[in-house]
Structures are given as C-alpha cells and as structure tokens.
Amino acid sequence: METQKFSYDNGIVRAFLYATVVFGLLGMLIGLTVALLLFYPELPEFLFGTDDLTIKSLFSGNHLQGLIATQGKFGYGRLRMMHTNTVIFAFVMNGFFAGGYYSLQRLLKTRMWSDTLSWVHFWGWQLMIVSSLVTFMYGINTSKEYAEHEWPIDILILIVWLIFGINMFATIAKRRVRHLYVAIWFYIGTWVAIAMLHVFNNLEVPLTFGGWKSYSAYAGVKDALVQWWYGHNAVAFVLTTPILGLMYYFLPKAADRPVFSYKLSIIHFWSLIFVYIWAGPHHLQYTAIPAWAQALATGFSIMLIAPSWGGMLNGLLTLRGAWDKVRENPVLKFFVVALTCYGMATFEGPLLATKTLNKIGHFTDWVIGHVHVGALGWNGFMTFGMIYYLLPIMWRTKLWSTKLANWHFWLGTMGIIFYVVPMYISGFTQGLMWKQFNPDGTLLYKNWLDTVSAVIPYYEMRFVGGLFYISGVVLMCVNVVATVRQGSFQKNVPAEAPALARISNSRKEGEGIHLWIERIPVLLTVLSLFAVSIGGFFEIVPTLTIKSNVPTISAVKPYSPLELEGRDIYIREGCNACHSQMIRPFRDEVVRFNGKNGQYSKAGEFIYDRPFLWGSKRTGPDLQREGGVRPSSWHFKHMLNPRVTSAGSIMPRFPWLIANTLDRSQLVDKIVFMKDVYDVPYTKAEIDTANAWADHQSDHIVKQIYSEAADVKEEFAKRKAEEGSKFVPLEKREIVAVIAYLQRLGTDIKTTEVKTASIK
C-alpha cells in the first residue's frame, strides 16, 4: 500500500487555543464582577458617581451623571449575559475547536480539508463573540437564556457552524483511517444537534431588516417549551458532548492507556444523545406547560444518570494501572477532577428534575451551584488539562513550570469548593425560607428581603471561591506565555500514512453492526440526527400544532403600545435575570405573589408574550402579579434607588430610565407588526390612535406619580424652570413605559378565588 506524506495544521489549533485562554480569562473576570454586584450593588455608583451621601465614590460631587452616562452598560442584567455567553461560546467552544482541530487531523490521518475554511471558521466565530459582547453591553438581546443573540448574530452563528461542518465532514471523507474513533462520534453528534437546536429555537422575525429588534416566532408556553428544549440541550451539546469527545481523545493520550471499554463507549454515545434531548422541560416543572411534558421530562432526566455515569466510569477506568501518574502529572489531575465533577453534576441534575426537589431548588441558588459544578469543574478543568497537554507538544518543549500548573490545579479545586458549597447552602436556605408559614397561616418571611439578607454571607464566600479559581487561571496564563516563549512552534507537522483503499459500503459477513456504522460517516450522521430529533418532535410538535394545548383566557388582552415599549426596555436591561414571571401552584407562592388576584399562573395568560419571561432565578420577587400592588410613585423611586424604597436591596439603580426620552419612532410599527405577522387582535382604530393611546396612558401614570409623591412633582417643576425649552416632560421618558408594563402584569385575571395544587 502506498504511503502518503502530508502535514497537520497546527496553526489553526494555536489560534483557537490562544482565543480560549484570552476569552476564558475575560469571561471569568466578568463573572467575578457579577458575583461582586450581588453583595455590593453600589459598585457602579462607586465607579461612576452617585448622589447617595452614604456611598464613597471615585468622583467628587453629589450627582448621578456619570452613572446615567453608562446607560446601563455595566449593569447586572447585561453583565450576566456577557458572562454566560463568553464562558460558553468563547471559552468552552473555542477550547472544543482547538482540541477538535488537533484531534480530528490525527485520528483521521489527514490535514483538514480546507485551510481557508478553517480560518473563516476561526475569524467568523471570534467576530460572533465580539459582536455578542458589544450588543449585550448596549442592551440588544432577546432575553432567551444562552440564546440572547439578536437575529443578525444568530444568522452569523449558523453560517460559521455550517462552514465548520463542511470542513469537518469533508475531512472525514478524505480520511486515511477506516473506522471513526469514538471522539469523532461525539463531534458529529454535537454538530448535528447544535445545528438543529439553534435553528428551531432562534426562529424570529425582525421588526425591520435595517434594525436589531426581533420578536420570537413562538409565544408564551410554546416559547418556553422550545427555549428550554434548546437551553437544556445547549448544556448537553455545547457543554457536554463536545467535551466528552475531547475526553475520549486526550485522557487516553495523557494516561498512555487505551479507553477502558469500546462497548461502553457505544452505549454511552447513543443512549446519551437519545435520552438527553427529552429532558429539557424539567426546567419548567410546576409551570404552565402541559403536565404530560413535565412528567416525560422527569422520566428521561432520571434515565440520564445511566449513560452519564457510564461515560464518567469509562473515563476513570481508563486510568487503571496509571493512577501513579496522577500524582505527578497535572494534566491527569485536571482530567480526574473534571470527570468527578461531571459525575456529580449529572447525578444532581436528574435529582433536581424530580418534582419533590424541584419545588425546593428551582429559582434558587442551588441551581447556580449545580451549573457551576459543571462549568468550573467539568468544562473548565477538562479545558485546562487539554491546554497543558498541548503546550509542550505543539511548542516542542517542556511545560515551563509543572509546579505552577499544580498550583493552578489546587487553587481551581479550592475555588470550586468555595463557590459551589455556599451556593448549595444559599439555595437550601432560600427554598426553605420561602415556604415557611406561621401557625396562623401567614408567611413567616413575608418580606422578600428577609431571604436576600440571609444569603449575603454565602454570596461573599462565592466571591472568594471565584478569586481562588481565577487566580489559578492567571497562573495558567503565565505558564502559557512562558512555555510559548521558550519553545519552538511548528505550524505544519510532517506526517505519513498509507492511503485508504476503497471498499464497498455494504456490511461484510461477520462485521459487527457498529463497526459497519463507524466506517459509513453518512449513516452515522443520519442516525445521530434521528436520535437527537425524535425527542423534540414528540415533546414540542404537539404543543406547537394543537391549539387546545394552550387554552385561551378571554380576559387576557394584548399589550398597549406603551406597555409593549416598556416590556422591550425591561428586556433590554436584563431584568428577567433576577425576576421570574411564573407563579407556581404552591400555597406559599400564591399567598406571597397574589397581588389582587390570588391565582397561580395559567397558560392562557402568556399568549401575547414574545418572548416568554418566566425566568430561571429569583434574586428579586416574582412579578407576574405586580400590576396594581404598589403605587406608580413607588416604582419610580425604586428604579431611581432601590435602597430607598427597600432597605437592604441588592437591585442595581436605573437612573438613566428617568433621564432618557422614550424613543417612540417604532411605536406604531410594533403593533402593526404584531397584528400583521402574529395576528395579535389590535383593531384599526387602536393602530390609528396608537400615539394618542400611549399619551393618555403616560399622562395617567404621571398624574398618579405626582399625586402620590410631591417631591417628584417639585423636582420636575424645578427642572422645567431650569431647562426651559430643552425640558422633556416626565410623560415622555422611558421610566413611564416601564411602569406601564409593570402595572399591567397580572391584571387581566380578575378573581379573588385561590386555587392551589399543593399546600406547600
């Protein structure tokens, strides 16, 4: 057989590796800032200016102009989006691409099919990351968790993903190895699943093709089902399967041992990608989605334990006979702890999917702790181990400092412990305090701030854990730079392998069925697509296509133009990161959040919500019944300074909402769009008088504010006298639109009858 000479492209691997390190550090710095804001919400005031005499600021003078000038760019809601997306798409995915490009070439004994496509992929992906950071900073987002990118960036992601897929499959087609190794199965499954999830979850229609704003193709319950089908499986196919592919390649290489069990690898792959896709609705337990979808998700979530632990054990048992190396080799240390964290997270996840634990853990910091076992331990440590493995090989030198790598390992491990354990305690504390009643049937902790105050020490401990973790990352950066400087990088690595002889695709006599599938990439891809799509089809299609699955409520009316503008501002500021809009059928939630209505949330309430805003974490109280509970002047002052209306609040300030003039240029276009595209029942008269409708509503709200708060009325009268013709009346400002939206929430349901599905 003719031996062919070729070379591996290490240049593209180096580029993705550098991007992984840079964006990893950036994403974690943003995350550390987000953690700090949860117990030091005055940080923006300290940095940019304040009128609060109790707070020291870097700027002299008692004014808010510096903070107003930021326009919320450094607010909690926007930073949280920037943190999660940078860690997921910039750190983890760049790490996957670095390891994927390195391992694909060596497993297939060929160079990537197209160097040009490799670099288009690299620069396209980095452009997406930078665009995301900029748009999120400016409040341009869809609010859909892990999918906050607006429509132009969604299209960019799809194009770049297709380019990566073309290059990967074309490389597989010209391989010099007959059978595809298990790591490549996971790469293929990842590509297929992410393409499907991204397309269907991000179906949206732009308000105009010249602007950023779009509205989801799904509304309310349907949007929630599709989003968490995507959200949970983003965890599956962005944060799990590609990293498992890296594990199956780099762990045996680092340990110099073959994978423990080929058969277990087969079971792990097919059962994982089939079962995972069904489990998404477990994020929506006790919500307004159909009960059968909740039950189905619980069952499949519990089944997930088996394939997940099968993969973990396959990895750990690969180290049989090599455990002595773990003591000396920092790469293996990182891999072992990563697999352990993977096992912990994939055991805890199914437990949280059960209704018994979900009613305690959901909306609490328990979920944050659970997520970070996977993010910090599984994703972070696998990526760090891969980086330490690649550095000496690619730069043909020894790692500059093994001691520094070991310090990174121990600092990272301490960081995980100090982060996760306080979040577990905080979550248990929140979940139990929310549900406590006095003997007379009143809530023991009626004031939401009681639970907020109770968990502040755990937020501080979590911040310390973040400092430990990021300190280790800084040491890694030092090690990377020093190793690169002392080494000699070889961009094109010479290699040779015999050409692959052509044989029939038909199955040979005595050939195992999976061996046959492994040498037919098209068949493997089609079967993977079937495995990952069937769950979504059976769970989501019925709800999308059968109208009776989302019963309507005749009293629920579309948002007014001003309320719709306020809702868009609410999304812009990322308010849904802290406030849910979903009252579950528990006695404590109905009593705590009943407003004037005494009802838990019904599916028909959300038919005009594009996107849905049910949230996944309650840092502040639920707002689904907020309308009419508090006077408009309270909301005005709460946005100006939450700590004036709610002592001890950790909510950020929003003074720019009061300073900004509401942009009404698309007010009419939005309701015309809703009517024409989504058949929202606005009448012609309502459309023709949309601006007058908004004027009337804003006038009414301002009259309320002025009648309730004389100090506010006096302040605006003073501003009018000072500014003259430049003065913008309060009626024309953004804050009024936000108040209009908040005062609308839950007011369509008018009953005092309390119905609950559970007493606690």
Q: Are residues 226 and 332 in the same domain?
A: yes
Question: Would you place residue 595 in the very low, low, confident or very high pLDDT band (cuts 50, 70, 90)?
Answer: low
Q: Are residues 286 and 389 in the same domain?
A: yes
Using DSSP, state whether 287 is helix, strand or coil.
coil
In a domain, 234, yes or no: yes
Which pLDDT score is estimated for 754?
40
In a domain, 756, yes or no: no
Which pLDDT score is estimated for 538?
81
pLDDT at 617 over 50: yes
pLDDT at 224 over 60: yes
Annotated binding site for heme b: 83, 370, 372
- Per-residue pLDDT tens for 527-586? 999 999 988 788 777 777 766 667 778 889 999 999 999 999 999 999 999 999 999 999
Which pLDDT score is estimated for 547?
67
Question: Would you place residue 750 in the very low, low, confident or very high pLDDT band (cuts 50, 70, 90)?
Answer: low
Q: Are residues 256 and 170 in the same domain?
A: yes
Q: Are residues 535 and 608 in the same domain?
A: no
Annotated binding site: 83, 232, 282-283, 370, 372
Residue 244: give its domain's CATH number: 1.20.210.10
In a domain, 511, yes or no: no
Q: Are residues 435 and 475 in the same domain?
A: yes
pLDDT at 756 over 60: no
In a domain, 331, yes or no: yes
- Point out the domain boundary residue: 542, 575, 599: 542
- Per-residue pLDDT tens for 512-529? 899 999 999 999 999 999
Residue 724: give its domain's CATH number: 1.10.760.10
Using DSSP, state whether 363 is helix, strand or coil.
strand
Q: Are residues 10 and 106 in the same domain?
A: yes
Angle between helices 365-372 and 330-353 (to 10 degrees): 150
Say how far apart CA 505 and CA 737 lie, in whole Å.
Answer: 64
Domains in the chain, number: 2
Residue 719 domain boundaries: 561-744
Taking residues 261-270, what's their average pLDDT? 95
Taking residues 7-30, what's their average pLDDT? 97
Q: Identify whether the C-beta of residue 99 lies closer than 8 Å to the C-beta of residue 244.
A: no
Say how far apart CA 358 and CA 614 lie, in whole Å.
Answer: 15
pLDDT at 721 over 60: yes
Q: Are residues 144 and 269 in the same domain?
A: yes
Taking residues 342-350, what's their average pLDDT? 94
Q: Identify whether the C-beta of residue 223 lies closer than 8 Å to the C-beta of residue 612.
A: yes
In a domain, 214, yes or no: yes
- Per-residue pLDDT tens for 131-183? 999 999 999 999 999 999 999 999 999 999 999 999 999 999 999 999 999 99
376-385 core/surface letters (b: 16 or more CB in 10 A; e: else): bbbbbbbbbb
329-362 core/surface letters (b: 16 or more CB in 10 A; e: else): bbbbbbbbbbbbbbbbbbebbbebbeeebbbbbb
In a domain, 298, yes or no: yes
CA end-to-end span of the chain: 73
**How many CB atoms are closer than 10 A to CB 506?**
8
Q: Are residues 572 and 466 in the same domain?
A: no
In a domain, 666, yes or no: yes
pTM of full prediction above 0.85: yes
Q: Are residues 495 and 577 in the same domain?
A: no
In a domain, 512, yes or no: no
Question: Would you place residue 310 in the very low, low, confident or very high pLDDT band (cuts 50, 70, 90)?
Answer: very high
Instruction: Find, among 584, 625, 592, 646, the residue nearest to 445 by Cα.
Output: 592
Which pLDDT score is estimated for 549?
67
Q: Are residues 380 and 440 in the same domain?
A: yes
- Per-residue pLDDT tens for 88-120? 999 999 999 999 999 999 999 999 999 999 999
Q: Are residues 449 and 594 in the same domain?
A: no
Which pLDDT score is estimated for 235?
86
- Per-residue pLDDT tens for 487-500? 999 999 999 999 88
Annotated binding site for Cu cation: 232, 282-283
Which pLDDT score is estimated for 1?
62
- Per-residue pLDDT tens for 642-678? 999 999 999 999 999 999 999 999 999 999 999 999 9
Q: Are residues 536 and 577 in the same domain?
A: no
Largest CA distance in the chain: 93
Average pLDDT value over all residues in the chain? 93
Instruction: Find, among 722, 744, 677, the residue nearest to 219 by Cα.
Output: 677
- Per-residue pLDDT tens for 351-396? 999 999 999 999 999 999 999 999 999 999 999 999 999 999 999 9
Which pLDDT score is estimated for 234?
87
Taking residues 43-56, what's their average pLDDT? 89
Taking residues 445-455, what's their average pLDDT? 95
- Point out the domain boundary residue: 542, 573, 604: 542
